[in-house]
Amino acid sequence: MNETPLVVVSDRAEINIQLSEVSKIYDMGEVKVNALSKVSLQIPKGQFIVILGPSGSGKTTLLNLLGAIDVPSEGKVEVVGKELSKLNRKKLTKIRRNHVGFIFQFFNLLPSLTARENVEYALQIKGLNNTKKRAMEVLEQVGLAERADHFPGELSGGEQQRVAIARALAKSPEIILADEPTGELDYETGIAILELLSALSKKGQTVILVTHNSEIARIADRKIRLRSGSIISDELNENPIPPKDLRW
């Protein structure tokens, strides 16, 4: 039997994302990969969640479902009150664009745009004006203001990662999904990014962060562990520590 431990969310909390018995099967012809099996989750607004699990356990697959990038094979996903299976492609795009900021495991920057233009682009497709000022503001927050006019190919891995972070944060999304956002960063830059994400969750943005580094879970409100596509533990953290107290 597949027993999914559940963190029960109080009735008063505003639910941002809800998964009921969600499975994702990648059909590769001969083989079918069960990337997620019957995962149920309720995520309240403003919660800071860390998702842990070994390589191949389904973390990125789960994040893609939470952010309406992908749809489940079975089960129900609701994001900001909308059930994804009832939406067409255009409406799914709209949810992603307006409500979700995604920091990808591989940065997905547009190589022909500068750092600033990459950030501005995310704002422009949302239909916003005066994008330059906001882009510079977030690049400043991730410590990259002086690299704003560089192309991705002229930036280090860690710098590209920070551009991707700035791009996700620029539109002040309700939901921030981050896949190994500190993977390419040195300790100090990593802590600065975690401080930023932690502060945003305190202001009410929901932050869901995937990592291999279990230490990072100490700064979050909740820690979820995946193994072979199932949730094997789901715990609240009553006393999150400030990111600057982390050591690894």
Ligand X SMILES: Nc1ncnc2c1ncn2[C@@H]1O[C@H](COP(=O)(O)OP(=O)(O)OP(=O)(O)O)[C@@H](O)[C@H]1O
Residue 178 contacts which entry, ligand X, Mg ion, none (Cβ below 5-8 A, type-dependent): none
Number of separate helices (H) and strands (E) present in the chain: 6, 10
* Extended strands (E) in 53-124: 74-79, 82-83, 100-103
Q: Does 131 bind ligand X (CB under 6 A)?
A: no
Q: Does 25 bind ligand X (CB under 6 A)?
A: no
Q: Which is nearer to Mg ion, 46 or 181 (CB)?
A: 181
**Shortest Cβ distance from residue 25 to ligand X (Å)?**
9
Give the span between the Cα atoms of 140 and 170, in whole angstroms. 11
Q: Does 134 bind ligand X (CB under 6 A)?
A: no
Residues in binding contact with ligand X, number by CB under 6 A: 13
Q: Does 178 bind ligand X (CB under 6 A)?
A: no
Quick one: which of 3, 12, 28, 239 contacts ligand X (CB under 6 A)? 28
Partnered with residue 83 across adjacent β-strands are 78
**Shortest Cβ distance from residue 61 to Mg ion (Å)?**
8
Q: Which is nearer to Mg ion, 123 or 210 (CB)?
A: 210
Measured torsion, CA atoms of residues 218, 160, 103, 179, in degrees rounded to the nearest 10: -50
9 neighbors 44 (Cβ within 8 angstroms): yes
3-class DSSP state of 8: coil
Contact footprint for ligand X (CB under 6 A): 26, 28, 33, 35, 53, 55-61, 105
